[in-house]
Structure 1
Amino acid sequence: MVIKPKVRGFICTNAHPVGCAKSVENQIAYVESQSLEQTGPKNVLVIGCSTGYGLASRITSAFGYGANTLGICFEKAPNERKTGTAGFYNTAAFHEQAQAKGLYAKSINGDAFSDEIKQQTIDLIKQDLGQIDLVIYSLASPRRTDPETGEVYKSTLKPVGSAYTTKTYDTDKDMVHEVNLEPANEDEIAQTVKVMGGEDWERWMSQLGAAGVLSENCKTTAYTYIGKELTWPIYGQATIGKAKEDLDRAAKAIMSELSSLAVQANVSSLKALVTQASSAIPVMPLYISLIYKVMKQEGTHQGCIEQIVGLFDQRLYAASPPTDDMNRYRMDGIETNEATQAKIKVLWDKVSQDNFHELSDYAGYHSDFLNLFGFAFEGVDYEVDVDPIVHWS
């Protein structure tokens, strides 16, 4: 079939297998160009491995350090009538490239929140790898089923404490307008923490530790976004922020429970980028379009793969990595520094429907959005008839 993007709101309902393979290929090429030090992970588990920062972490582990990688994802396979998800195609491409280099790469496709998938993972580690020395936690989901009670929790994107009115950009209507967001109630906050907080990360590490599949001095990190004043009302000081605060609690709990193994657990704060998750959050398409404009002018813009290579090289495997007062690794300083934020604030105050495309880099935002699903890559002929059926091997 000839595959063209089908965009609905903040999601693309199809994906291009050749374009997704190109995305993986480009990221591998960047990692291999960096000549990373040999000291790094050996056996890596990436929970949420198929897109965005999780995929970049898997690529960096394998092609930067030669690590064996086991990935957990929840993706739909293609059929004759419908393409697979981008994450499915990304994972298939990663497997192919890893195997061509003689690197171990296996993936488990299922609900990472479930104890069943955790046990399958433990069994596969015991069978193939023995022990894991790095666990990356990079899940983003709108809902989670509690494995103990069976209750389904749903996350909410709302401010906390009071209503909030701000600018936003509607990608469907190409319109800058104000959005009014009512505050979350206590139940909505609690449910968001259940889905997006640190409980599942903690559960993963606890079960891996109890099964004896974590090495001594194992490292683990969970990814977060903190942001600054412009995004705090909908991110840092909102339901998502409450959930992300719970990651800090979980990091301490993990190190306490697994102290006999000297496990090092840190939250890693990364810069804002176009992801499937960020596209759904009010304010973020407008904010990201503006930071792209400023940071590209500054020469400081980075994508997922550049951020993660920096995280591995300058934090996770650095001799004396710096942390903030909450023991987090901060890779977001290129965005959150005062000088850059001041430039963004000037644009934020000026931007309107009339000047949005002049003041922002929405073209870059939109291109990155399409890239998530394998579209808009140079060197890919999107007029060619392609087979949507791809298999993992």
Structure 2
Amino acid sequence: MIIQPRVRGFICLTSHPEGTAQHVKQQIDYVKSKGKIANGPKKVLVIGASTGFGLASRITAAFGSDAATIGVFFEKPAAPGKPGTAGWYNTAAFEKEAQAAGLYAKSINGDAFSDEIKKQTIDLIKADLGQVDLIVYSLASPRRTHPKTGVAHASVLKPIGQSFTDKTVDFHSGVVSDISIQPVENEEDIQNTIAVMGGEDWKFWMTELKAAGVLAEGVKTVAYSYIGPELTYPIYRNGTIGKAKDDLEGTVPVLNDLLKELNGRSYVSVNKALVTQSSSAIPVVPLYISLLYKVMKAKGIHEGTIEQMQRLFADRLYNGNEIALDEKGRIRVDDWEMRADVQKEVAELWGQITTENLEGLADIAGYRNDFFNLFGFNFDAVDYEKETEEVVAIPSIKENA
């Protein structure tokens, strides 16, 4: 079929198998261009492995240190006449490239919050790898069915305490406008958001992996967070999502206790603001990212997801020295974003930005391009007017379902 982008708001409803393969290949080529990561991980589990930081982590582990990888995710395969999700196609392309390079790569498609998928993953580790030495926790989901209680929790994106009004942009039309978001109305919404996006499931994973004996001596685990500038605090860090991130970060000492006898460590890495399916849904953030891109590209310090993850692995997690942490015990690879000179320039542009000057002051074109790249579109090497085979199998998953 011929697959073109179909967009509804901040969601692209279609994805392109050849374009996503191109995107994966570009990320692999970048990691290979940086050379091998000395003392890198060798057997890696990535929970949330099909898009964004999780996919980039898997690519970095595999092609940066020849690691065997198992990826867990929840994606929809294609059916005749209906494209699969970008994450499905990403994984199919990744596994194909990994196999060609002689690297072990297998995947599990299902609800990573469930006990069933945890058990499947443990069984696969036992059968094929024995143990894993790195667990990346990179789940992004709007809802979670709790495996112990059966309660379905849905996250909300709201400020706490008072309403929030500021600028935002429709990145498709380029219209800059004010947006007002009402505060969360009850504590239950906050707790539901924490249940979905906090640290409990990460703790469940690590507890079950340890109990099953599949964690190697010196094991590391890392989850991802974001802080951002003060202008996004009301909707992000001081809002419902921020409460969940606080909970995620607060899980680190609990996991360090759990892993102590294995000489293992857990970390949260605070990453840079980037275009992801999740970030595009947050008011204010797309406009902030567009301005941030403009400033960081001008200074020659812009990074995408793969550059961020390669730097995290090579310069922090596996640098051979003590890992530098901030005052709250977090790894900071948002350090270039949060540089005083960068934030000063972004703040100055924020005060000037309008619909009329958007194209000149912000890198809205770069934002749009990165958004469409997520779904396999806007790659010069792909002819989007041609028929493409939409039904693509992931080699390690027998059923396309």
Tell me what 1:391 maps to.
Answer: 393
Equivalences for residues 242-281 of structure 1 within 5 A: 242-281=243-282
Matches within 5 A, 1:276-291: 276-291=277-292
Distance, in Å, in 1 between the alignment partners of 2:58 and 2:337 is 24
Where does residue 398 of structure 2 map in the other structure? none
Q: Using the TM superposition, give the Cα deviation of residue 174 of structure 1 relative to its aligned residue in structure 2, in angstroms.
A: 3.1
Q: CA deviation at 1:113?
A: 0.5
Contact kept in structure 1, 2:144 and 2:154, CA below 8 Å? yes
Distance (Å, rounded) in 2 between the aligned partners of 1:50 and 1:26: 15
Match of 1:202 in 2: 203
Helix, strand or coil: the match of 1:237? coil
Q: Secondary structure at the match of 1:333?
A: coil
Deviation at 1:231, TM superposition (A): 1.2
**Aligned positions of 1:115-134 closer than 5 A:** 115-134=115-134
Q: Where does residue 109 of structure 2 map in the other structure?
A: 109
Shift of 1:271: 0.2
Alpha-carbon deviations, 1:314-352, whole Å to 9, x = none?
A: 111111221101111100011111110000000101111
Contact 1:8 1:172 in 2 (8 A): no
Q: Is the 8 A contact 1:227 1:272 kept in 2?
A: yes
Deviation by residue 1:205-234 (Cα, 9 ceiling, x = unmatched): 000001100011100000111111121111
Q: Is the 8 A contact 2:20 2:375 kept in 1?
A: yes
Who is 2:346 aligned against?
Answer: 344
For 2:208 and 2:248, locate their aligned partners in 1 and report how far apart those are by CA, in whole Å: 17
| Structure-2 separation of matches of 1:221 and 1:89 | 25
Partner amino acid for 2:232?
A: T
Correspondences of 1:307-326 after superposition (within 5 Å): 307-318=308-319, 319-326=321-328
Residue aligned with 2:180, SS: strand
What is the letter of the counterpart of residue 39 of structure 2? T
SS in 2 for 1:139: coil
Corresponding residue for 2:36? 36
Distance 1:105 1:84 in 2: 20
Partner AA of 2:124 in structure 1:
L
Alignment match, 1:68: 68
- Answering whether residue 360 of structure 2 is matched by residue 358 of structure 1, we say yes
**Aligned AA (2:86):** A
Aligned-partner residue type, residue 327 of structure 2: D
1:22-50 per-position Cα deviation (integer Å, ceiling 9, x unaligned): 00100000000001333110100000000
> 2: distance between equivalents of 1:107 and 1:326?
34
Q: What are the residue-to-residue correspondences of 1:59-98 with 2, within 5 Å?
A: 59-98=59-98
**Residue of structure 1 equivalent to 2:399:** none
Query: CA–CA distance in 1 between the matches of 2:145 and 2:373?
Result: 30
Partners in 1 of 2:56 and 2:262 — Cα distance? 27
User: Cα deviations across residues 54-96 of structure 1 (Å, max 9, x unaligned)?
Assistant: 0000000000100000000100000112000000000000010
Among all aligned residue pairs of Structure 1 and Structure 2, give the percentage whose two residues are the same amino acid.
Answer: 56
Counterpart for residue 158 of structure 1: 158
What are the within-5 Å matches in structure 2 for residues 96-245 of structure 1? Answer: 96-184=96-184, 185-245=186-246
Partners of 1:351 and 1:382 lie apart in 2 by 34
Higher mean C-alpha deviation, range 318-327 or range 78-87: 318-327
Q: State the SS of the aligned residue for 1:336.
A: coil
Query: Does structure 1 conserve the Cα–Cα contact (< 8 Å) formed by 2:37 and 2:313?
Result: no
Q: Give me the whole-angstrom Cα distance separating, in 2, the residues matched to 1:64 and 1:221.
A: 17
Counterpart contact for 2:46–2:71, Cα < 8 Å: yes
- Cα distance in 2 for residues equivalent to 1:37 and 1:390: 31
Q: Which residue matches 1:55?
A: 55
Provide the residue aligned with 1:335 in structure 2: 337
The unaligned stretches of length 5 or more in structure 1 are: none
Q: Deviations over 1:151-201 (max 9, x none)?
A: 000111111121111111123543211111111131111111110001100
| CA distance in structure 2 between the aligned counterparts of 1:169 and 1:77, rounded to whole angstroms | 32
Q: Distance in 1 between matches of 2:35 and 2:266?
A: 26
Q: Which runs of 5+ in 2 are unaligned?
A: 396-401
In structure 1, how many angstroms separate the alpha carbons of the residues matched to 2:37 and 2:389? 39
After TM superposition, give the deviation of residue 256 of structure 1 in Å.
1.1
TM-score, normalisation: structure 2: 0.97
1:68–1:103 Cα contact (<8 Å) kept: yes
Instruction: Name whichever of 168-177 and 28-37 sits farther off.
Output: 168-177
What secondary structure is seen at the aligned counterpart in 2 of 1:334?
A: coil
Aligned mates of 1:236, 1:337 — CA distance in 2:
18
- 2-structure distance, mates of 1:117, 1:103: 23
Contact 1:38 1:65 in 2 (8 A): yes
TM-score by length of 1: 0.99
Is 126-135 or 221-230 further displaced after alignment?
Answer: 221-230
Deviation, 1:357, is 1.7
Alpha-carbon separation, structure 2, partners of 1:321 and 1:125: 27
SS of residue in 2 equivalent to 1:24: helix
Task: Please state whether the residue corresponding to 2:177 is helix, strand or coil.
Answer: strand
Name the count of aligned residue pairs: 393
Cα distance in 2 for residues equivalent to 1:346 and 1:52: 29
